[in-house]
Amino acid sequence: MSAPPFDLSGKVAVVTGGGSGIGRAIAEIFAVRGAFVHICDVERDAAEPVAAGIAKSGGKAAAHRCDVSDQADVHRVFATILGAGPLDILVNNAGVSHIGTVEGTSEEDFDRLFRVNVKGVYNCTYSAIGAMKERGSGVILNMASIAATSGVADRFAYSMTKGAVLAMTYSIAKDYARYGIRCVSISPARIHTPFVDGFLKRTYPGKEAEMFAKLSATQPIGRMGNPIEVANLALYLCSDEAAFATGTDYPLDGGFLRLNG
């Protein structure tokens, strides 16, 4: 009897930014499908409840406080993870956002986004790729964005970083295909996460519902996506069923890229 589709039993995964939103949904569905999930987040108080919830449901997970922008910290965490055994899947999901044109982006803002969104992907990939290469297998999934390929107003620095993530995805896939390592990315449009709710509360107090409806309408499908919808695609791309997929970006955007205008 063959295993059910998208089975991750016996696999070990790292999910950065796994304490909330998309990262949390990915960590939880990976665990449901049998993976041991290492949840890395800059906030330990965010990562630990996710790991505890997975364990309570019968899954396997560990929480790690990890600042992906700090190479020494990343090396420390990955040394612990790799010291316990092989790593099959790396999901580079941790990221931060920023609202503003080039004129509204300070050097501090620009550097902060680059450190987390770009250098963070580099740091984690650099720490994992050697072990994957030695073993002759592995999957790296990077979280890009429709902002990488589409002009999104007031997202100058964020778009820059996600464009870099897309380029890194293609480069890694090209360099490491011969070692049995796949690298792909997902480019979501707006996804309803706690970040969105916090942004609306801070930026549009008293008008949260109005602005939520406006942002939802930018997707031709008429709503924002849900984290579990991104997680379902991540599960497929990181499973053996997607063994032929590498060097490709997968938009998940409710029609944003092709149906607007």
Q: Which helix (H) or strand (E) holds 126?
A: helix 120-135
Q: Determine how β-strand 249-252 pairs with β-strand 89-92.
A: unpaired
| Pairwise CA distance, residues 142 & 126, whole Å | 13
> Which residues are known catalytic residues?
158
Contacts of 131 (CB under 8 A, 6+ apart): 82, 86, 87, 138
Query: What is the DSSP code (8-state) at residue 223?
Result: S
Alpha-carbon distances of 29 from 54, 58, 71, 234, rounded to whole Å: 9, 12, 28, 9
What is residue 183's three-state secondary structure?
strand
Determine contact, residues 109/98, Cβ cutoff 8 Å: yes
Residue 128 sits at the vertex; the CA angle it makes with 93 and 3, to the nearest 5 degrees, is: 75
Determine contact, residues 184/241, Cβ cutoff 8 Å: no
